[in-house]
A and B are shown apart, each in its own frame.
Chain A
């Protein structure tokens, strides 16, 4: 047997971790909404796509400077999600959860149509102002994509920022109280609806950032929305409760995908990368339904 190629393995591992952190960022938006409003948002991937398209279109087609294009996209996502919360979701409070799920699925379809309708269907590049020559580390020649590094760094900064917000700030505590019980939070003088809106706003900001990072890797068009499907294995593997869970879930998905692409694909002719995270997800649901870090709800009477 030939020697195991550690350099190749390390390269897959490290870039898997980086990609995973970028998944974590997108999953964070989903978790924020789920935790505080109980809504399952099937449009998170479409938020990412629309945000990416806005950056791509305004930078590549209209020639805006990148910082302005990104600010525009963030501002749009914030306004869009505030409006969405006000007009569609707020009146649905108290309705069966499945009604809200259906509404977000409808919204997703709407956004997939709106992207090409307003900005055309072509795939646009989204170029970040960094050198994309691979970074080579050590004598094992590990090649790393600088966009992966930048994206992962941005994801980590945001994840830490949100982690600090939830654990240490008063508003973060209030938001966790809302996640715990809407009714009791109201009785504490917390304006629950305002925190619902805040959750959607945060999810919008995270989506815009995700749109920039993933758009720069994949180019922007409606296909970018598919990234949203990665949210499900991430949150199932990591659990829906904590930011740590989201980070670990993301890393697992990124690494598993990459190892599958590196070792399984050559054996079977490709494609395993796309479904291995979902296989893991299903196994997880069968054996550890609360995720690695999620906990069953504490009930005491």
Chain B
């Protein structure tokens, strides 16, 4: 179990981005964090995976615990050894490496024997990547890159995978395929998932539990099925008003913009 206990994250010593954020990620489950652009979702994931330091960010209050052990002071490469790996927003595959080499880099901490097994597993879940394993990753389609990014993360044999907006910029068909695979990985391999999304409908459909983040703080949480029924979530994240009609995307945006103004 991964716990974020009331953490505060500051960039450049002054920019307070997370303002006391607590999240529980139970083993073997899919937990999702929903929130608009700029809410602090990516920052939350980077805090867990130890990647704040290169961006001059730091956890300044609270703690992050993995199975009771405090991990918020670890270096990024040690966090991976602890079994937590992050899949970046925007995929971030190594564009100059082939798909296969991306996986090799992803399995950096593993022995060659484990590396071989993991590759087989990844290619099993992502047959499209197996077909294109010798293609330079920069030339893969967006969907294939997302699959590769997830597969690369799996190479380290993680207990917990942090997924940052895997649906971003992809076509609906591909998104459905990828979310299906995430769900399968969770069920079949027992991989714990912390999924960050702006697309609430998708995320709540596969998650067990959900959190809503606004402005660097958690404002609501509950079982995914309940959150999906919540009127506010429906209105602001699913785009459905109380009368059941679908709100236009533009109106939702307008609301969000106004709400920011008020804050």
On A, residues with C-beta under 8 Å from B are 94, 170, 173-174, 176-177, 179-192, 241, 297-301
Q: How many residues of B are counted as interface, with CB atoms below 8 angstroms from the partner's CB atoms?
A: 36
Tell me the minimal C-beta distance from B136 to chain A in angstroms: 8
A-B interface, 9 closest residue pairs, ranked by CB to CB distance from nearest: A189-B80, A298-B138, A177-B105, A186-B76, A189-B109, A180-B94, A298-B95, A173-B104, A191-B77
Structural contact, B108 and A190, CB atoms closer than 8 A = yes
Residue from the list B51, B90, B95, B112 in contact with A187, Cβ < 8 A: B51
Q: Identify which of residues 86-106 in chain B touch chain A, using a CB-to-CB cut-off of 8 Å.
A: 86, 88, 90, 92, 94-97, 101-102, 104-106
How long is the Cα–Cα vector from A191 to B77 in the complex, in angstroms?
6
Residue from the list A173, A179, A185, A189 in contact with B101, Cβ < 8 A: A173
With A94-B54, A174-B105, A182-B54 in contact, is A188–B97 under 8 Å at CB? no
Structural contact, B80 and A187, CB atoms closer than 8 A = yes
Most B Cβ at <10 Å: residue of A177, A190, A192? A177
> Which residues of chain A come closer than 8 Å to B88, judged between CB atoms?
184, 187
Structural contact, A184 and B92, CB atoms closer than 8 A = yes
Structural contact, A189 and B95, CB atoms closer than 8 A = no
CB of B49 within 8 A of chain A?
Answer: yes
CB of B156 within 8 A of chain A?
Answer: yes
How long is the Cα–Cα vector from A187 to B85 in the complex, in angstroms?
7
Q: Can you spell out 10 A-B residue pairs with CB atoms less than 8 angstroms apart?
A: A94-B54, A170-B104, A170-B115, A173-B97, A186-B51, A186-B76, A187-B88, A189-B77, A189-B156, A241-B96
How long is the Cα–Cα vector from A33 to B90 in the complex, in angstroms?
27
Structural contact, B92 and A176, CB atoms closer than 8 A = no
Q: Identify which of residues 177-220 in chain B touch chain A, using a CB-to-CB cut-off of 8 Å.
A: none
With A170-B112, A188-B106, A189-B80 in contact, is A176–B85 under 8 Å at CB? no
Structural contact, B108 and A170, CB atoms closer than 8 A = yes
> Which residues of chain A come closer than 8 Å to B102, judged between CB atoms?
177
